């Protein structure tokens, strides 16, 4: 089948490359001419493990192409995916749908014959109805169907998630559209992947409900971590004890500095706003947002405590700036709240991240970016692990100790064992453990 992917960002590029690897003919469209030129030259605008190889293989095979010309791609397509950004709108928390609606209008102007328009972007309930109205207004006689097909991709594991998903959700009641979507995802039937067909509004809400629940789960274990510290328990053992219950599961039960990234912060805000507008508030989600925001500030105060309560003039070494490992994405990363809070109290910050330096230069001021973990530790009064990159799991701790002004480590990801760190002479603190 022929696919046009409107938007060559994270979701669009990963989805386009994976559909091409399934054997479909895919054209990724983006208005950013620099991004398209880079992709045509074999460069990657984002860091995602394995994506560069997957793109290169399918470009060589002639199944994947990139262009700024939406018209040619859309006219030939059986399915046109909208995979543009839906950031939080300033002031009210609503998802900004301007890019989605602009894409819908552009598609309507150039599509030819029956076309399935698929919303891959994360959008509030009812967005598909508005897209349908836009297309109908622009092309009253057009033959088309608007489908919801939310993505469930984890940054750092997106290719695996696309090719071996827990489920695929498709929102449509149009039989022709259902047939097209079934053919697009036919390779997944070999793995017996559940394909959940439902109505469009339900599909749109499934995405927000999933992210809201996972965000709530993270926030729950973070609050349990605080309770563990107060009563002398171990949050990692608590997480294991409850996670073995199949009704709960062990995913997203890792205590830390709070959630960030491109999805959970904006999607919980959009879900809360949608619910308020529908006069059916989701107070659990609203509380989750508030608790998560407060947690990032609390983590900064934990670092201040490790500095003896006097951060002014002290040097803080930071390991990890991205919101999670195996990505260069810093959107709503805990580091963006923790580091400025420390700087406001007079601390100097030096940091290392394996992939996040380019973004960090745009988002953080007066942070000395180092070439490796040991550069971040050199001369530091405290070293802080914010992101759990694998290369931070086996640091040369003896070398770290010699490089620092004093051997103090604040481990916000519980990578190391307290007893081991004490034995090495570190003033060590972690999350939810004695």
Active site residues: 263
Q: Centre a 10 Å sphere on the Cβ of residue 398 and count the other Cβ atoms it contains.
A: 10
Residue the block writes with tokens 């559940």: 194
Residues 323 and 327: their CA atoms lie apart, in Å, by 8
Residues 124 and 3: their CA atoms lie apart, in Å, by 24
Q: Crossing angle of helices 200-231/235-243, nearest 10°? A: 140
Residues 321 and 126: their CA atoms lie apart, in Å, by 36
Residues 382 and 179: their CA atoms lie apart, in Å, by 58
How wide is the angle at C-alpha 347 spanned by C-alphas 342 and 348, nearest 5°? 115
Residues 286 and 290: their CA atoms lie apart, in Å, by 6
Answer whether 407's CB lies under 8 Å from 401's CB.
yes
The alpha-helical segments, DSSP class H, found in 32-148 are: 33-40, 51-60, 70-76, 98-110, 127-138
What distances in angstroms separate CA 214 from CA 145, 230, 245, one per listed residue? 31, 25, 16
Answer whether 128's CB lies under 8 Å from 201's CB.
yes
């Amino acid at each position: 089948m022929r696919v046009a992917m409107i938007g060559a960002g994270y979701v669009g590029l990963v989805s386009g490359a994976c559909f091409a690897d399934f054997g479909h003919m895919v054209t990724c469209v983006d208005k950013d001419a620099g991004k398209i030129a880079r992709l045509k030259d074999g460069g990657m605008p984002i860091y995602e493990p394995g994506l560069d190889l997957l793109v290169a293989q399918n470009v060589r095979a002639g199944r994947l192409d990139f262009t700024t010309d939406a018209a040619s791609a859309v006219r030939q397509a059986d399915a046109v995916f909208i995979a543009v950004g839906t950031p939080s709108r300033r002031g009210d928390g609503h998802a900004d749908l301007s890019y989605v609606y602009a894409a819908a209008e552009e598609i309507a102007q150039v599509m030819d014959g029956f076309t399935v328009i698929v919303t891959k972007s994360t959008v509030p309930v009812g967005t598909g109805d508005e897209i349908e109205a836009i297309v109908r207004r622009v092309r009253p006689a057009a033959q088309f169907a608007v489908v919801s097909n939310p993505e469930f991709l984890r940054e750092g594991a997106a290719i695996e998630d696309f090719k071996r998903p827990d489920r695929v959700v498709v929102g449509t009641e149009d039989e022709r559209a259902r047939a097209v979507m079934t053919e697009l995802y036919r390779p997944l039937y070999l793995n017996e992947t559940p394909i959940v067909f439902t109505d469009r509004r339900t599909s749109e809400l499934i995405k927000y409900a999933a992210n809201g629940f996972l965000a709530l789960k993270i926030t729950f274990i973070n609050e349990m971590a605080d309770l563990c510290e107060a009563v002398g328990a171990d949050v990692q053992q608590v997480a294991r004890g409850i996670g073995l219950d199949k009704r709960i599961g062990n995913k997203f039960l890792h205590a830390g500095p709070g959630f960030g990234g491109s999805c959970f912060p904006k999607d919980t805000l959009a879900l809360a706003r949608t619910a308020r507008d529908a006069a059916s508030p989701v107070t659990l989600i609203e509380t989750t947002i508030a608790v998560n925001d407060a947690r990032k500030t609390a983590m900064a105060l934990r670092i201040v405590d490790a500095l003896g309560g006097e951060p002014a003039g002290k040097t803080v070494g930071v390991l990890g700036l991205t919101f999670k490992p195996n990505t260069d994405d810093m959107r709503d990363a805990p580091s963006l709240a923790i580091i400025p809070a420390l700087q406001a109290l007079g601390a100097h910050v030096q940091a290392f991240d394996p992939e996040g330096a380019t973004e960090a230069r745009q988002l953080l001021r007066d942070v000395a970016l180092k070439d490796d973990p040991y550069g971040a530790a050199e001369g530091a009064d405290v070293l802080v692990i914010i992101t759990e990159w694998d290369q931070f799991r086996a640091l040369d701790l003896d070398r770290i100790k010699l490089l620092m002004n004093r051997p103090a480590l604040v481990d916000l990801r519980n990578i190391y064992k307290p007893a081991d760190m004490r034995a090495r002479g570190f003033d060590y603190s972690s999350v939810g453990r004695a």
